[in-house]
Structure 1
Amino acid sequence: MVKLEPFDVEQWMDKYENSPGIRNLAETCAASISIDELVALCEDPNTPHPLNTATKLTYGAIRGSSALRERLASLYSTRAAAPLPGDNVLITPGAIAANFLLLYTLIGPGDHIVCMYPTYQQLYSVPESLGAEVSLWKLQKEKNYIPDVEDLKSLVKENTKLIIVNNPNNPTGATTPKSVLQALVNFARERDLIILSDEVYRPLFHGTSPADPEFPPSLLSLGYSKTISTGSMSKAYSLAGIRIGWIASRDRSIIEAIAAARDYTTIAVSQLDDQVATYALSPSVMHALLGRNIKLAKTNMTLLETFINEHNHICSWVKPTGGTTALVKFVKKGVPVDDMQFCIDVIEKAKVMFVPASKCFSPELKGSVRMGFVCETEVLREALKSLGEYIREHLA
């Protein structure tokens, strides 16, 4: 029987996020929107409504509609030497299904995996459950949580098959710059290794600009065929409720292998979900939607940075540059708090929820919590006010 470790962050979310009166700073999606709000963002009144109610609710296109796959392929073709064909994209029920499916397809006993760490637990616990050996490529606070390829080189073995990265990173909010990604690709190409880049928070960048020469591209744009990108409509696109994710690769054989394995799992995604995602990624909607979320992230980042600066004797961080999460460390009298008990106490006394990092991401992150800060601005404002009152009473 496959043995899976408890998925700590998801179990924590499930246990506490519906607590009465809670202000949720554990959620990692950019503030979710309704279909009506999505339609209101559309810049072309002639664009058809996202839901075609005349559609017969069959299984639909098994790999995802051609319209949706072509729109995603065009995103990966930006700044790339060659366009990505739509047939090199496979639609899945969320990025969590995308990651699970490709690991289930590609990884087995005897394989060795190197995984960026800390990151979303699925990315290293699932390979372990499949019988693979996993080495952790640890991010260092002293290096602003930017991975060091020299550290990676010492981890790779003769049976290494896959390197896994997460960019922007969950939980730190750090982004891996272009030069590091290129060095990673060069190293993997020399050894014929596959790279999985979980880009679920892409393209929500708030601390770096496309004009910056180190702005991180998708890994698929760097010219190495054995790269895989997974993504989702949940985080940067505010549409977690439609459960749309995807797998993209320039190696068609990888996509074909995963598509064959999927026959044993979900078969297809909902046609209705596919329609909404296709609409959201249309030129008349996508730029307004991303503009809304990047503006929200920047506004909220300013609020959170002000809060941390005001309480710098209690909390510290490496300021995030992408995604929706921040890793914040709290101390009391110079000693890191027990972050698990701290989180429970803050839920009970301040009605604010975030995630204990030492339990849900790494025991080495004692005293730290993961905050999801790209919620509605007023929710963040009220949560930080309550948290400030808690700090003055219990930690100062």
Structure 2
Amino acid sequence: MPPPPPFAVEQWMDKYETTAKYNIAETCCASVSVEELASLSESKASASSILDLSAVQSYGEIRGSTAIRANLSRLYSSKAGSPLSPDNVLITPGAIAANFMVFYALIKPGDHVVCHYPTYQQLYTVPASLGAEVDLWKSKAKNKWLPDFEDLKELVKHNTKLIVLNNPQNPTGQVLPKSLLLKIVEFAESKNITVLSDEVYRPLFHGTSPMDPEFPPSILSLGYKNTIATGSMSKAYSLAGIRVGWIASRSSDIIEQCAVARDYTIISVSQLDQQVAAFALSPDVIHSLLGRNIQLAKANLELLQRFIIKHDEYCSWTKPVAGTTAFVKFERDGKAIDAEAFCKALQEKSGVMFLPGDYGFGMEFKGYVRIGYVNRTDILKDGLEELRKFMRKEYDELPLSE
């Protein structure tokens, strides 16, 4: 297997995030310490009680601890017609490892993959590196980033092995609604195509309500066995540093294939990390943690919206309804700004970090930047103030995209 091409988003983050004064390219909800996490529990547990420091640090349970898999089983079963067994969950070092494991286990040369787009680069470059032909199911700004189901049907071929979704979507913050998900699942089942849904930003919904008939359920709740959901503690749960993710499926065969693949790659996940994750996902903590993050997302998104309205001669977007990212287009005189030059100049002169959309997600996104707005409110507020000053003094001198 040849290595995939350079991972643009991660290379940009690695290069610039350690020197940013105001990192509003970050895609995680504002991270918490173990002490903060403990304070969110209904029982007001102590931080020291979360970790069993007397436990021998062996590999532990290879597929993941009983406690964390039971908690994830409960979460995936709550809105579903039938429960999901803990045996149908595998724990991995983050969602990036979960996604890789699915591709490594299921995709071979000659297969065809369709991937929802724009999205995290891994979701289409890794299948291609494994020898698959990959087509992009494109969503467009003019349709509020909602892809056309008829386009998906036209992309599917006789050898299509996998349809890859990202719901909620990075970088746009939009969702695939329930009616569209039902069409996708029904179509995939009729063709015996597996569906992988990267749900790493689930359940951070702040602009849509579970009472809405189009509220998007997890892909595992729609009645089709050959579906896979991946997720992690990084984005919606504010715990990127513990490196815990998962693969969940109603198909035991898929889980077993992924389990075989993990033997060649990750083996197991840190016991200490899993203890923290299991605590965060427990009924005693999860509601307070998600409530904190949803309120943070709502408050910060309002700040970002005010900025965009005030600068609407230069900025346009589809307001996010979920997740932590916004995809904002910057123009001048009706032409897209050179987003890479913009981001570099902005960070150099003001310390504010954005991620250029064409660099990170594809050359068709000229003028776009990805903004991560669910960090601590003071960081976003101060960063937007520095951005305002930059727009006033420097924006007119920025090059336009060719």
Which range, TM-score by smaller chain? over 0.9
CA deviation profile, 1:192-238 (whole Å, cap 9, x unmatched): 10000000000001100111111110010000000000000000000
What is the correspondence of 1:1-396 to structure 2 with a 5 Å cutoff?
2-19=2-19, 22-45=21-44, 49-395=49-395
Task: Give the match's secondary structure for 1:248.
Answer: strand
Task: Give the match's secondary structure for 1:124.
Answer: helix
For residues 339 and 263 of structure 1, the distance between their equivalents in structure 2, rounded to whole angstroms, comes to 42
Question: Are the aligned partners of 2:38 and 2:44 in contact in 1 as well (CA < 8 Å)?
Answer: no
1:394, distance to aligned residue in structure 2 (A):
2.3
For residues 45 and 322 of structure 2, the distance between their equivalents in structure 1, rounded to whole angstroms, comes to 33
For residues 177 and 344 of structure 2, the distance between their equivalents in structure 1, rounded to whole angstroms, comes to 35
For residues 31 and 307 of structure 1, the distance between their equivalents in structure 2, rounded to whole angstroms, comes to 20
For residues 206 and 308 of structure 1, the distance between their equivalents in structure 2, rounded to whole angstroms, comes to 18
| Identity %, equivalent residues | 59
1:49, distance to aligned residue in structure 2 (A):
1.9
CA deviation profile, 1:262-282 (whole Å, cap 9, x unmatched): 111111000000100000011
1:333, distance to aligned residue in structure 2 (A):
2.2
For residues 272 and 60 of structure 1, the distance between their equivalents in structure 2, rounded to whole angstroms, comes to 10
Which runs of 5 or more residues in structure 1 are unaligned? none
For residues 278 and 45 of structure 2, the distance between their equivalents in structure 1, rounded to whole angstroms, comes to 15
For residues 393 and 168 of structure 2, the distance between their equivalents in structure 1, rounded to whole angstroms, comes to 35
Question: Are the aligned partners of 2:27 and 2:325 in contact in 1 as well (CA < 8 Å)?
Answer: yes
1:66, distance to aligned residue in structure 2 (A):
1.1
CA deviation profile, 1:146-188 (whole Å, cap 9, x unmatched): 2221110010001100000000000000011111111100110
One-letter code aligned to 1:39? A
Question: Are the aligned partners of 2:26 and 2:372 in contact in 1 as well (CA < 8 Å)?
Answer: yes
Distance 1:349-1:149 versus aligned 2 partners, 3 A rule: same
Question: Are the aligned partners of 1:42 and 1:288 in contact in 2 as well (CA < 8 Å)?
Answer: yes
1:3, distance to aligned residue in structure 2 (A):
3.4
CA deviation profile, 1:333-384 (whole Å, cap 9, x unmatched): 2211000111101011121001000011011110000000000000000000
One-letter code aligned to 1:246? W
For residues 46 and 262 of structure 1, the distance between their equivalents in structure 2, rounded to whole angstroms, comes to 34
For residues 353 and 386 of structure 2, the distance between their equivalents in structure 1, rounded to whole angstroms, comes to 11
Task: Give the match's secondary structure for 2:61.
Answer: coil
Length-normalised TM-score, structure 2 = 0.97
For residues 143 and 77 of structure 2, the distance between their equivalents in structure 1, rounded to whole angstroms, comes to 31
For residues 3 and 285 of structure 1, the distance between their equivalents in structure 2, rounded to whole angstroms, comes to 40
Task: Give the match's secondary structure for 1:154.
Answer: helix
Task: Give the match's secondary structure for 1:120.
Answer: coil
Question: Are the aligned partners of 1:188 and 1:194 in contact in 2 as well (CA < 8 Å)?
Answer: yes
One-letter code aligned to 1:108? K
Question: Are the aligned partners of 2:164 and 2:197 in contact in 1 as well (CA < 8 Å)?
Answer: yes
Task: Give the match's secondary structure for 2:392.
Answer: helix
RMSD of aligned Cα (Å): 1.1
1:45, distance to aligned residue in structure 2 (A):
3.9
Task: Give the match's secondary structure for 2:381.
Answer: helix
Task: Give the match's secondary structure for 2:155.
Answer: coil
Task: Give the match's secondary structure for 1:11.
Answer: helix
For residues 177 and 225 of structure 1, the distance between their equivalents in structure 2, rounded to whole angstroms, comes to 20
Which runs of 5 or more residues in structure 2 are unaligned? 397-402
Length-normalised TM-score, structure 1 = 0.98
Question: Are the aligned partners of 1:112 and 1:159 in contact in 2 as well (CA < 8 Å)?
Answer: yes
Match of 2:399 in 1: none
Task: Give the match's secondary structure for 1:358.
Answer: helix
Task: Give the match's secondary structure for 2:201.
Answer: coil
For residues 86 and 3 of structure 2, the distance between their equivalents in structure 1, rounded to whole angstroms, comes to 36
For residues 3 and 89 of structure 1, the distance between their equivalents in structure 2, rounded to whole angstroms, comes to 28
| Equivalent residue pairs, number | 395
Question: Are the aligned partners of 2:225 and 2:250 in contact in 1 as well (CA < 8 Å)?
Answer: yes
CA deviation profile, 1:239-279 (whole Å, cap 9, x unmatched): 00000000000000000111011111111000000100000
For residues 55 and 185 of structure 2, the distance between their equivalents in structure 1, rounded to whole angstroms, comes to 43
One-letter code aligned to 1:35? V
1:46, distance to aligned residue in structure 2 (A):
6.2
Question: Are the aligned partners of 2:200 and 2:236 in contact in 1 as well (CA < 8 Å)?
Answer: yes
Match of 2:400 in 1: none
For residues 237 and 282 of structure 1, the distance between their equivalents in structure 2, rounded to whole angstroms, comes to 12
For residues 79 and 85 of structure 1, the distance between their equivalents in structure 2, rounded to whole angstroms, comes to 14
